[in-house]
Structures are given as C-alpha cells and as structure tokens.
C-alpha cells in the first residue's frame, strides 16, 4: 500500500498504572519517550482499563497509581507541550472501537497471542479466564488504531500485540476499505485537478496498471503531491485508485522496538517489581543509599582482604550504567587485588544514582505540590486525544454502515 504520510510519524504508547515507577522504567521506557517527543507527534497514555484486566479485584490500585505515574512522567522530562498525555478511560471512544473491532476479530487470533497463556500461568493467583483478559490485545489494537499511529515504541514482550494490531488493521481495510461508490468518487476527484492533469493521471494509471511501469507510478505520486486544490480524502482516493489498493482507513503501525531494558536490579537480575529489587524514582536519598549499601557483592569477598571478581557482583552491573571508564578500571583493579573495599566501591554507584534521581525528585515535588496543575494538563491532553479519536471513530462507524438515518 502507498504510504501517504509525508508528515512526521505519529507515536503512541501506554503504560499500565499498577505500581510505582522505578529506575527500570526510566532507563527502559521513559528516556526513550523523552527522545521521541522531539521527533514525532507523540501520544502517551495511562492504560487504566488495561490495568483492570488483571487487577479487577483490587480497583483501588488503579486510581492510586494514575496520578503518581503521570507525576513521574513529567518529572522525567515528558513535556505536555510536545506530547499529548491522557488517560485511557477518559477517552471512551477506545471502548467503542474495541467493540466494533471485536466484530471482525476471529477468536483464534486472540487465543494464539502468546501473552494470553503465559500470563495466565505466571499470575496463577488471579483468575484471568475472563473475557476482558482475552480481549486485552484487541483493546490495545484499538488504542493504537484510533490515533492512526505510525510507530509504537514497545518492548519485546509486546511485539505479538502489535502484530495482532497490524492484522486487525489489514482485515478492517480489506473488509471496509472500498467505498461503495469508490470508482465514481475517484473519477470526480481526478476532474477536480483540471482537464490536463486528469488526463495525465489516467495515462499514468494505465501505464502502471497495464504495463507495471513503476516510473509512471512515481510520476503520478509526484503529480498528486503537487495538487494544492484537492482534499485529503480525494488525494487518498486518487492514490488508492492508482495502484488498486483502495483506501487505507486504518494504517498498519510499525513497531519501534525499545532495546530490552538493561537496567539491572539490586540483585543483578533485571530490575522489576516482581523481583523486589527496585529503586523507586522518588525514593528518599537515605533509602536509596541503604538499598545499595546492603546489596549483595561477590560472595568470595567475605573479608576486606579477600580478592573478588566484578563479574560475580551485581554492583558491577550498576557500574556499567553509572560509572565512567576510569572508575570502572579502578573497580576492576581494586576488586581483584582487594585494594578497595565493597563500601568504597558502592559509594560511586550511590553517587551516580543520586545524581540521576535528585533532579527527578525535585521536579516531582513541584508537581506534588500542585495537583491542580497536573489535573489541568491531563484535562487538556484528554480533550486533544478525544478529538483525534472521535474523527477516526466517525470514519469507522461510517465504513461499518452505522451512519444510517
């Protein structure tokens, strides 16, 4: 299908409000979002409905974390002037699109999504044999498609959900992409370009469709791009009529794969709430220091004089994130020769983490002190998001035959 998008791409991503954010989120997701907000038209949202699919028995959890999460985002440098920030359930259009897409979603597609069975097994203490949980990836598809996002930054674990999103978009476009009177409308649109251009357009179309002439297609694209007087919808029709692809109502988004978070936790495993090895973004300095001081080290270093090997030590993983080359060389040498003590070694990590967290903590405090401001930012974001969502939904309703009178 022809890509009509000459504007910067649109990015959409969401996060479930099921716990406090930690350094793993910062290094794995938020730093990436901060970078993207300068390059793309970004939409970032709190996926509160998604949280309910697994936390429906403890509804208080969601409300408790929504605002804290947004404060963390803002404190980490997400800028509401650059990115549209909103809350999923405040844009109820997501639910309507989810419903409409459910009409065309084969059950097997959902049952085959790997996270469906995996998560049910991992979260055995919760009953996830629910309709909502099965539909999770379809709700996610609606989140993405309703904004016509071109790029979705997610980690490896979400790639299958994006694959489903693409399949749903393809199926939708296949079923509803052709307007009943598409051909007449395309002819009419061609006439609006003026006699000469219309004739040229039809010639080029014939050359492409009958002789497979790619150059003719390119020339035709340039012709269409250079037409100031036709509407966006007409331009889309003319592109579609040209290559026989009809209209792409819901564009298929691409995955922007976020490199798997390399942020190690306090025990050397990946930092994650479920391992209880996290450092929270707003934890007080004394607490951060205590956590790092009590981190396990190379078990070979029982006494100060025992030499160690950084490769057997989780503190070393944190040096990879927070220390420069020189410090790392000092650690390697000092650890192996027992020239430095572990507390001495950890002091550098403590300082590095603190240097990163101090400004975040400080910015968060300003937002904590002004909850009305945070709420206003979200009211504004939700309204902007709704505008986009409403526009897509109106096209979808019409394509699915629901705008009858």
Give the footprint of ligand TRP on this chain (CB under 6 A).
12-14, 16, 47, 50, 140, 143-144, 152, 154, 158
Residue 12 interaction partner, one of ligand SF4, ligand TRP, none, beta carbon < 5-8 Å per kind: ligand TRP
Q: Which residue, judged by CB position, is nearest to ligand TRP in the bound state? A: 14
Pick 89 or 323: Cβ nearer ligand TRP: 89
- Kindly give the residue spans of alpha helices, DSSP state H, lying in 76-122: 93-102, 107-111, 114-122
CB of 351 to ligand SF4, least distance (A): 14
Residue 316 interaction partner, one of ligand SF4, ligand TRP, none, beta carbon < 5-8 Å per kind: ligand SF4
| Tokens 């691409």 -> residue | 254
350 binds ligand SF4 (CB under 6 A): no
22 binds ligand SF4 (CB under 6 A): no
Distance CA 353, CA 271 (A): 14
Pick 142 or 279: Cβ nearer ligand TRP: 142
Distance CA 297, CA 313 (A): 5
Distance CA 183, CA 246 (A): 9
As a residue count, the chain comes to 405
Residue 66 sits at the vertex; the CA angle it makes with 63 and 72, to the nearest 5 degrees, is 150
330 binds ligand SF4 (CB under 6 A): no
- Kindly give the residue spans of alpha helices, DSSP state H, lying in 123-194: 131-134, 136-145, 159-176, 182-191
Site for ligand SF4 in 280-309 (CB under 6 A): 297-298, 301, 308
CB of 373 to ligand SF4, least distance (A): 42
Residue 212 sits at the vertex; the CA angle it makes with 209 and 214, to the nearest 5 degrees, is 110
Pick 253 or 310: Cβ nearer ligand SF4: 310
Residue 253 interaction partner, one of ligand TRP, ligand SF4, none, beta carbon < 5-8 Å per kind: none
Stretch that binds ligand SF4, among 101-109, 163-171, 334-342, 390-398 (CB under 6 A): 334-342
Token pair, residue 344, equals 């001495």
CB of 176 to ligand TRP, least distance (A): 22
Token pair, residue 118, equals 């995996």
CB atoms within 10 A of CB 364: 19
Residue 335 interaction partner, one of ligand TRP, ligand SF4, none, beta carbon < 5-8 Å per kind: ligand SF4
Site for ligand SF4 (CB under 6 A): which residue of 315, 353, 382, 389?
315
Distance CA 178, CA 237 (A): 10
CB atoms within 10 A of CB 121: 9
Distance CA 70, CA 65 (A): 9
Token pair, residue 307, equals 């030499």
342 binds ligand SF4 (CB under 6 A): yes
Site for ligand SF4 (CB under 6 A): which residue of 313, 353, 357, 385?
313
3-state SS, residue 379: helix
335 binds ligand SF4 (CB under 6 A): yes
Contact of 203 with 154, CB cutoff 8 Å: no
Residue 310 interaction partner, one of ligand SF4, ligand TRP, none, beta carbon < 5-8 Å per kind: ligand SF4
Residue 158 interaction partner, one of ligand SF4, ligand TRP, none, beta carbon < 5-8 Å per kind: ligand TRP
Site for ligand SF4 (CB under 6 A): which residue of 22, 98, 346, 361?
346
Contact of 232 with 145, CB cutoff 8 Å: no
Site residues (vs ligand SF4, CB under 6 A): 297-298, 301, 308, 310, 313, 315-316, 331, 335, 340, 342, 345-346
């Amino acid at each position: 299908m022809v890509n009509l998008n000459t504007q910067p791409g649109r990015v959409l991503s969401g996060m479930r409000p099921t716990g406090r954010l930690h350094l793993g989120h910062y290094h794995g997701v938020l730093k990436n979002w901060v970078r993207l907000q300068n390059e793309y038209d970004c939409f970032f949202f709190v996926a509160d409905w998604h949280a309910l699919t697994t936390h429906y028995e403890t509804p208080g959890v969601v409300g408790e974390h929504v605002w804290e999460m947004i404060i963390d985002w803002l404190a980490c440098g997400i800028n509401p002037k650059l990115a549209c920030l909103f809350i999923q359930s405040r844009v109820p259009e997501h639910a309507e699109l989810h419903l409409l897409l459910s009409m065309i979603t084969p059950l097997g597609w959902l049952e085959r999504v790997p996270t469906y069975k995996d998560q049910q097994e991992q979260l055995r203490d919760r009953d996830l044999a629910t309709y909502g949980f099965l539909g999770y990836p379809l709700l996610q598809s609606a989140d993405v498609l309703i904004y016509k996002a071109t790029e979705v930054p997610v980690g490896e674990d979400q790639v299958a959900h994006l694959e489903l999103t693409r399949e749903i978009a393809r199926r939708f476009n296949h079923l509803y992409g052709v307007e009943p009177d598409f051909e007449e409308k395309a002819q009419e649109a061609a006439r609006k370009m003026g006699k000469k251009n219309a004739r040229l357009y039809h010639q080029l179309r014939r050359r492409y469709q009958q002789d497979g002439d790619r150059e003719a297609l390119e020339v035709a694209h340039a012709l269409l791009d250079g037409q100031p007087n036709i509407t966006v919808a007409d331009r889309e029709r003319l592109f579609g009529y040209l290559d026989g692809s009809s209209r792409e109502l819901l564009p298929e988004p691409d995955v922007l794969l976020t490199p798997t978070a390399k942020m190690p936790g306090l025990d050397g495993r990946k930092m994650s709430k479920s391992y209880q090895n996290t450092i929270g973004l707003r934890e007080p300095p004394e607490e951060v220091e205590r956590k790092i001081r009590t981190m396990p080290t190379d078990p070979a270093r029982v006494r100060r004089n025992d030499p160690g090997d950084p490769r057997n030590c989780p503190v070393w993983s944190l040096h990879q994130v927070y220390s420069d080359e020189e410090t790392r060389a000092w650690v390697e040498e000092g650890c192996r020769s027992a020239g430095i003590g572990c507390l001495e070694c950890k002091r550098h990590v403590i300082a590095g983490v603190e240097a990163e967290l101090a400004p975040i903590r400080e910015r968060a405090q300003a937002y904590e002190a002004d909850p009305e401001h945070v709420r206003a930012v979200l009211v504004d974001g939700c309204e902007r998001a709704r505008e986009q969502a409403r526009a897509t939904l109106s096209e979808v309703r019409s394509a699915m035959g629901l705008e009858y009178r």
